[in-house]
Amino acid sequence: MGESARDDLDALIESELFRPAAPPETLLTTEICQRHGSAVAAVLFYGYCLRRRTSEGVLDFYVLVDSYRAAYSSRLLAWANAALPPNVFYLEIESEFGTLRSKYAVISMRDFANGARPGGLRSGIWARFCQPALALQVRDPSARDAVAGAVSEAVVTGVARARPLLPTNAGSVRFDAERLWQQVFRETYSAELRPEDPETIRKLYRADPKRYDRAARAALARLQRCGRLRFDESSGVIAGLQTPASRRWSVRRPLAKLAYVAQLLKTTATFGDWLPYALHHHLPYLPYHSLGRVHRRLLAELPQNAPYRATVRDGVGILQSLWRNAASVSRGFSGGRVAKEL
């Protein structure tokens, strides 16, 4: 199946990425491109609203740029983006479709491609883009090829990362697409400190099981072609890719959590009203754009000694608190080792 498996994965990704977009998504994309100018090479739409094909709620975008310096007038924002990509921003516009809301992450094409490959500390890129995405804006054929290649690589990375974590029998495991993808989603949500329940994770796969089955088989065939595992498609037996990958992930997990906390800390400066962004990851079932109003109502109605009030800090206070909490995650790792991994 060699080359046809590679073609099948590429064909799947391209059919998903380059579908027509709805007008609300296009309006938000236009506003994003106006903000960041000619540096924008591509805008990708992903996540909950894409799965539901709705513009109600907060739409999630990744904005791929040529360079951080070209994307901003602020050197500080460019430096922050390069030091710990991506930068995350909130965008809200009024339109004929009502109020449109989005959060978007700015990242360079190079960092996006690197994040889709195996070997990186953080799972943010490949975890999001092993799922279906839609390219709302692609500047030219070169950008189109780069985006499709990186997203295809994200699928392969997700499968490769999950395989060593599955229970084995004499070093092999029988192919089960649902179990494999649930392992992918479970590990990545854990690394990002996101409290998704098992049923939510199951729904990600069950939203389109045929798609995920096709993607997993094509990725496994590509991994076999690269010599990274053995996959007998007729019997469904997968062998190899067991160690030391599983040990590396056990080391990376706490470091990934530390990096995620650092990312959250940085986003308090770029997002504007940071509280809804932070709470959204821990109260995912409340409407995103209502979290600020929920916070203000709680402050108005709770007694003065309520524990919730202890979470209210000024800008410097919250940064200090987050940093102290982040330090507890990294216990057992030397500062030099953390810096090297990051």
Whether residues 220 and 75 share a domain: the answer is yes
What was the pLDDT predicted at 250?
Answer: 60
Strand-pair partners of 45: 61, 134
Q: Does the pLDDT value for residue 31 go beyond 60?
A: yes
In the structure encoding, which two tokens stand for residue 213, read together? Answer: 């089955």
Beta strand extents in 167-262 (DSSP E only): 172-174, 230-232, 237-239
Domain boundary among 245, 275, 307: 245
Closest CA to 13 of 211, 187, 159, 193: 211
Whether residues 258 and 196 share a domain: the answer is no
Whether residues 204 and 324 share a domain: the answer is no
- Provide mean pLDDT across the span 68-75: 95
Whether residues 174 and 259 share a domain: the answer is no
- Provide mean pLDDT across the span 36-62: 94
Measured distance CA(98)–CA(57) in Å, rounded: 11
Whether residues 275 and 241 share a domain: the answer is no
Q: Which pLDDT band holds residue 2 (cuts at 50, 70, 90)?
A: very low
Do 134 and 17 form a contact (C-beta atoms < 8 A)?
A: yes
Edge-to-edge strands, sheet with 98-108 = 87-95, 98-108, 58-65, 40-46, 134-138
Q: Which pLDDT band holds residue 311 (cuts at 50, 70, 90)?
A: low
Do 227 and 239 form a contact (C-beta atoms < 8 A)?
A: no
pTM: 0.77
Measured distance CA(311)–CA(289) in Å, rounded: 20
Q: Which pLDDT band holds residue 337 (cuts at 50, 70, 90)?
A: very low
Which amino acid is present at 262?
A
Strands 58-65 and 172-174: unpaired
Measured distance CA(127)–CA(341) in Å, rounded: 19
Whether residues 62 and 199 share a domain: the answer is yes
What was the pLDDT predicted at 275?
Answer: 55
CATH number of the domain to which 49 belongs: 3.30.460.10
Do 102 and 137 form a contact (C-beta atoms < 8 A)?
A: no
How many other C-beta atoms are found inside a 10 Å radius of the C-beta of residue 325?
12
Q: Between 81 and 187, whose confidence is greater?
A: 81
- Provide mean pLDDT across the span 86-93: 92
pLDDT per position as a tens digit, 184-242: 888 777 766 565 677 888 889 999 999 999 999 999 989 988 888 888 777 777 877 55
Whether residues 189 and 317 share a domain: the answer is no
What was the pLDDT predicted at 194?
Answer: 64
What was the pLDDT predicted at 134?
Answer: 98
Do 104 and 88 form a contact (C-beta atoms < 8 A)?
A: yes
Most confident of 136-145, 157-166, 185-194: 136-145
- Provide mean pLDDT across the span 331-342: 33
**Dihedrals φ, ψ of 102, to 5°?**
-150, 155
Overall domain count for the chain: 2
Domain boundary among 222, 245, 268: 245
The count of C-alpha atoms lying within 13 angstroms of the C-alpha of 212, restricted to the half-sphere facing its C-beta, is 24
What was the pLDDT predicted at 195?
Answer: 58
Whether residues 189 and 324 share a domain: the answer is no
Measured distance CA(12)–CA(211) in Å, rounded: 8
In the structure encoding, which two tokens stand for residue 220, read together? Answer: 């496994």
What was the pLDDT predicted at 100?
Answer: 95
Instruction: Write the DSSP symbol of residue 53.
Output: T
What was the pLDDT predicted at 121?
Answer: 67
What was the pLDDT predicted at 61?
Answer: 98
Do 231 and 98 form a contact (C-beta atoms < 8 A)?
A: no
Q: Which pLDDT band holds residue 104 (cuts at 50, 70, 90)?
A: very high
Q: Between 263 and 322, whose confidence is greater?
A: 263
The residue with tokens 């090829």 is: 145
Question: With pLDDT > 90 as the criterion, what percentage of the chain qualifies?
Answer: 46
Give whole-number Cα distances, 196 to 160, 246, 309, in Å.
Answer: 22, 22, 25
What was the pLDDT predicted at 71?
Answer: 97
DSSP H/E element including 44 = strand 40-46
Whether residues 238 and 312 share a domain: the answer is no
Q: Which pLDDT band holds residue 313 (cuts at 50, 70, 90)?
A: low
Range of the domain at 287: 248-341
Q: Does the pLDDT value for residue 245 go beyond 70?
A: no
Measured distance CA(177)–CA(213) in Å, rounded: 5
Question: With pLDDT > 70 as the criterion, what percentage of the chain qualifies?
Answer: 70
Q: Does the pLDDT value for residue 319 go beyond 90?
A: no
Domain boundary among 245, 268, 283: 245
Whether residues 127 and 16 share a domain: the answer is yes
SS in 3 state form for 78-130?
HHHHHHCCCEEEEEEEEECCEEEEEEEEEEEHHHHHHHHCCCCCCCHHHHHHC
Closest CA to 240 of 225, 249, 229: 229
- CA 114 centroid distance within chain: 13
Whether residues 138 and 190 share a domain: the answer is yes
Whether residues 232 and 281 share a domain: the answer is no
Average pLDDT, the chain: 80
Q: Which pLDDT band holds residue 251 (cuts at 50, 70, 90)?
A: low
Measured distance CA(101)–CA(90) in Å, rounded: 8
The residue with tokens 């029998």 is: 169
Q: Between 68 and 308, whose confidence is greater?
A: 68
Q: Between 224 and 337, whose confidence is greater?
A: 224
